[in-house]
Amino acid sequence: MVLCLNSRAAKVFNRTLFLALIVGVYFVVGVGAANANEKVVLALGDSLTAGFGLTTSSGFVVQLETRLILSGVNARVIDGGVSGDTSAGGLARLDWLFVDTPDLVIVELGANDGLRGLDPTATMANLEAIVLRVKERGAKVLLSGMQAPPNMGEEYAREFNSIYEALARKYKIVLFPFFLEGVAAQPHLNQIDGIHPNADGVKLIVEKILPFVTTLLEGDGG
């Protein structure tokens, strides 16, 4: 069947087709420009970034990405968290996480090292290797501090807790002093296990870490 259009109908059809093509071009270009300006953040961590016990929307990754976007930063946050992971585990899987070429890597590891009483010297060596590898890839580092559990004793806690500040000072990277600041030991901000933050706890963590992330994405430090 051949579709015949009179002169007026043909003009309307052609104009509509032209406008549709223009809109399509602008859409493609706009999306391309948005993607080109997108900042990619990798959250390399354990259950605290993986959102253990929470819905996806309540976890650290989604809450942080949402807050970044609401604050005007075109960002995508990648979930690089594995529950139960140690600093050694994070180091072992770091390379394949770089497939998305992140601009910034939040290093949140060491909590499980402390819970297991692992040698702080080994933890520091693993974290140092992670920092060096991230910097070699051209990404910025936001190192998140951890603290040893009280039952490990004062000497262990002193050695373990000093790891993060020492690395930040040595490599001139930004340190977020303690990932669970204001959340640890607060029952109303934690799940029933008393270890993992609930949705409100994660919200507080995100509010505290957001200025550090934003500053690094805008080009200062790291």
Tens-place pLDDT, residues 137-188: 999 999 999 999 999 999 999 999 999 999 999 999 999 999 999 999 999 9
Report the pLDDT value the prediction gives residue 157, as an integer from 0 to 100: 97
pLDDT in tens, 58-98: 999 999 999 999 999 999 999 999 999 999 999 999 999 99
Instruction: Give residue 197's Cα distance to chain centre.
Output: 16
> For the whole model, what pTM was predicted?
0.84
What average pLDDT score do residues 16-26 get? Answer: 40
Has residue 201 got a pLDDT over 90? yes
Instruction: Give residue 175's Cα distance to chain centre.
Output: 14
pLDDT in tens, 87-118: 999 999 999 999 999 999 999 999 999 999 99
Of residues 220 and 202, more confidence is placed in 202
Cβ atoms of 37 and 77 closer than 8 Å: no
Q: Cα(100)–Cα(133) distance, rounded to whole angstroms?
A: 15
| The Cα angle at residue 205 between residues 200 and 207, in degrees rounded to 5 | 95
Report the pLDDT value the prediction gives residue 219, as an integer from 0 to 100: 84
Has residue 131 got a pLDDT over 50? yes
Q: What percent of the chain has pLDDT over 70?
A: 83
User: Which residue numbers are catalytic?
Assistant: 47, 193, 196
Nearest to 97 by CA among 35, 59, 44, 39: 44
The burial of 113, by beta-carbon neighbours within 10 Å (0-12 exposed, 13-18 middle, 19 or more buried), is given as buried
Quote the tokens at residue 195.
């270890």
Report the pLDDT value the prediction gives residue 28, as an integer from 0 to 100: 38
Alpha helices in 47-192 (DSSP H): 47-50, 60-70, 87-92, 94-97, 111-115, 120-136, 154-171
